[in-house]
Amino acid sequence: METNSSLDLCATPLRVLHLIGQLTRGGCELQLTGMMEKLSASGQGAHHTVLCFWCDEDSDIRRRLEAANIELIFLDKQKGIDFRFVKRLRAFLKAEYHRFDVVHAWLMSAGLWGRLALRKLGKKRPAALVSYRSAEPHSWPGGRMLDRFLARYSELYICNSHTVQDVW
């Protein structure tokens, strides 16, 4: 599928929207935060925005990202399956797609909801990267099949180990 971005990682400045389910203290969240802090301090040309589905107002991760001058967007999602959330996320992406070259979805939840929202944007959508950091497959029936269907809306998968790669 042709996208708005050819994934030219040398494009300046690259504009990345990071989708993540929550900003609580976890390995993935700490990895994202550390990466954002380093990139912000380095003054490199890329522009990063983090869109989170849920965050505690007293989150130390939230405070660290704000201190690093990372743009934070909060888009509430109900627990479990929330199809209204897909509509809200799609509306945001449709209105703001021109701001981003890449949407990087961190973990299963963001990968699912992000690609469901991106799939209706057609050729104008940003490139989609999905990163997996767990060897746990979907726990609900149909999850694996849905992920395979959504693969056509992903330009790149990132896995943090060969074990994770073998599962996905």
> Distance between CA 20 and CA 28 in Å, rounded?
9
CA pair distance 79, 64, nearest whole angstrom: 25
Asked if 133 and 160 touch (Cβ cutoff 8 Å), the reply is yes
pLDDT digits (tens, 9 = 90+) for 68-92: 999 998 988 877 778 888 899 999 9
* Contact call for residues 5 and 127 (beta carbons, < 8 A): yes
- Nearest-5° angle of CA 134, CA 71, CA 129? 35
Q: What is the pTM of this model?
A: 0.83
Task: Give the model's pLDDT for residue 21.
Answer: 84
Question: Taking the chain, what is the end-to-end CA distance rounded to the nearest angstrom?
Answer: 21
pLDDT at residue 2, as a whole number: 47
- Whole-angstrom distance, CA of residue 105 vs CA of residue 29: 12
CA nearest 25: which of 71, 68, 58, 72?
58
Identify the segments of the chain with pLDDT beneath 50.
1-2, 5
Phi, then psi, of 95 in degrees rounded to 5: -75, -30
Burial of 16 (0-12, 13-18, 19+ CB in 10 A): buried
Q: What is the C-alpha to C-alpha distance for residues 77 and 89, in angstroms, rounded to an integer?
A: 10
Q: What is the pLDDT of residue 65?
A: 92
- Report CA-CA distances (Å) from 57 to 23, 89, 167: 10, 21, 34
